[in-house]
Amino acid sequence: MFEKDEKINSLVDMGFSEDEANMAIIRCGVDGDLSVLVDSISASRVAGNLNLSNHQVMGGCFDSFGGRKKARLVEERKKKRKRCGCTGQSNQPSLDCNHDEDMLIPNPMVGFNLPNYSLPLVRVTRRILEQDMGPPYFYYENVARAPTGVWATISRSLYDIQPEFVDSKHLCATARKRGYIHNLPIENRAPLLPSPPMTIFEAFPRYKKWWPSWDQRTQFNCLLTGVAGPKLTGKIGRALASADTPPSQSIQKYVIDHCKRYNLVWVGKNKVAKLEPQEIEYPLGFPKDHTRGLGDTNRYKSLGNSFHVDTVAYHLSVLKGMFPNGVNVLSLFTGIGGGEVALHRLGINMRTVVSVEIDKASKRIFRDWWNQTQTGTLIEIDDVKSLTDDQVATYVTTFGGFDLVIGGSPCNNLAGCNRSSRHGLEGKQSVLFHHYVRILNAVKSAMARK
DNA sequence: GGGAACATGAAGCGACAC
DNA sequence: GTGTCGCTTCATGTTCCC
């Protein structure tokens, strides 16, 4: 009984009514995962609004990877069932078999299509139910390498739409493996121009002078929220200074391992250094000095948490022809405004942006950028938890609806480098994903009533 | 007190050998 | 088909220092 009360409280905190929470527990059982309960309520709401009684049955009908890939997925699942002793015949979700719901990430990670990508891509026959097509268009982002089962849950919560996994290394000089779920068209996309540099030396030619031949990196790994300090770079310098020329294999490995982990660059003889914040802005697609004015720690953190602008812009580019008079945007987890920068660089006018962001430093960066570049209306809200369905409905009435709902919910509990609290979608921060779903459903409902 | 630096783990995947 | 190894990762908690 305690567990039931706790789950009801959690759902009420998310903005659902007590009746809805109770009904979901009756449908799914008190043992049902919180995400399953949220899905159940969302599905009920959509079914209610659209007068559909079999929404769950109608969902999940995409053919994501083409025949061979799909067959491989089925094979993999069979193998995993075998390994864990599951029969796969039960309709009930099993906690022991969560990995049964994993989602294969394509290799290479190039999404549905990419500009100037020469290799043949997998056939995409994405199907989206009519009631889930835009407007409103939505765009959701998070880390690709989330714990097993997370992307299946996210996809299920977002109308069973297939995620598009893209590594930004195919578009710029730095890796950033991300998954995107959206209901945007995928034909006639256009990249931002000029194209960003694809290698470290193209982006930062001055580092070529001191780059040793045995450091064969041509691109950076993912630019994270943390960076190396002077103690580490000093240690590397001393190790190289006392080593032979060229250094022994073991010294080389020690240095390269740290260079890869912290994306260090060569700034002198035997001298490595971290990238400066303004250097990180560049490959991520932000304007120069976008984050200037904050302390370096906040700059690294906000940039590490941001969108890759060129990737997002490529996906959003289809909106340009669809909305020549501009768009109304509901921006959840805005951060430093990667989505808005992408729209701006595409030349898409933002008539209104309702921005929800809790971090004061990121809000300041985004507000400053908005005031310098935009003429539309900016409404700021502090927390997704405080944005009620009624408020959403009022905004829909006031602005005539939202054309785009965009955001990437916190990855803290999903990211591979979190060694202490990688708890998945129910983790302290990442649980906010359910508010994205709730708010998106509120927008859809309000717009359907218009 | 707050910002910066440091030390830290493991899940998940691909490549490869057998 | 299976096991092993190496690599990558939108981070976190603690300590240090101003």
Domains along the sequence of chain A with CATH = 104-195+300-449 (3.40.50.150), 200-274 (no CATH)
A188: burial class by Cβ within 10 Å (0-12, 13-18, 19+)? exposed
Q: What's the rounded mean pLDDT across residues A218-228?
A: 90
Quick: pLDDT tens for A402-440.
999 999 999 999 998 888 888 899 888 899 999 999 999
State, as a whole number of angstroms, the distance between the CA of A337 and the C1' of B14: 34
Q: Which of the four pLDDT bands, split at 50, 70 and 90, describes residue A49?
A: very low
Could you tell me which residues come within 8 angstroms of residue A219 by beta carbon, excluding any fewer than 6 positions away? A169, A173, A174, A175, A198, A199, A200
8 A C-beta contact, residue A345 and residue A208:
no
Whether the CB of A145 is less than 7 Å away from nucleic strand B comes out as yes
The three-class DSSP label of residue A110 is: strand
Active site residues of A: 411
A63 forms beta bridges with A125
Tokens in use for A159?
């109308």
% of chain A at pLDDT higher than 70? 75
- Identity of the residue numbered A171: L
Q: Which of the four pLDDT bands, split at 50, 70 and 90, describes residue A102?
A: low
CA gap A196, A312 in Å, rounded = 14
Chain C nucleotides with an atom closer than 7 Å to a protein C-beta = 2, 7-13
Could you tell me which residues come within 8 angstroms of residue A5 by beta carbon, excluding any fewer than 6 positions away? none
Could you tell me which residues come within 8 angstroms of residue A371 by beta carbon, excluding any fewer than 6 positions away? none
Higher per-residue pLDDT: A209 or A249: A209
**Distance from the Cα of residue A49 to its chain's centroid:** 28
Instruction: Show the DSSP H helices in A198-276 as ranges.
Output: 200-203, 230-241, 249-262
Whether the CB of A322 is less than 7 Å away from nucleic strand C comes out as no
State, as a whole number of angstroms, the distance between the CA of A448 and the C1' of B13: 42
Sheet of A164-167, strand order: A164-167, A177-182, A137-143, A404-407, A327-332, A350-356, A377-381
Whether the CB of A417 is less than 7 Å away from nucleic strand B comes out as yes
Nearest CA among A289, A281, A288, A317 for reference residue A172: A281
- What mean pLDDT, rounded, does chain A reach? 81
**Distance from the Cα of residue A43 to its chain's centroid:** 23
Question: Residue A100 gets which letter from DSSP?
Answer: G
> What is the nearest nucleotide to A308, using C1' and CA?
C10
The three-class DSSP label of residue A19 is: helix
**Distance from the Cα of residue A208 to its chain's centroid:** 32
The three-class DSSP label of residue A52 is: coil
Question: Residue A220 gets which letter from DSSP?
Answer: B
Whether the CB of A45 is less than 7 Å away from nucleic strand C comes out as no
pLDDT of the residue at A340: 97
pLDDT of the residue at A126: 79
Nearest CA among A433, A434, A413 for reference residue A423: A413
8 A C-beta contact, residue A48 and residue A76:
no
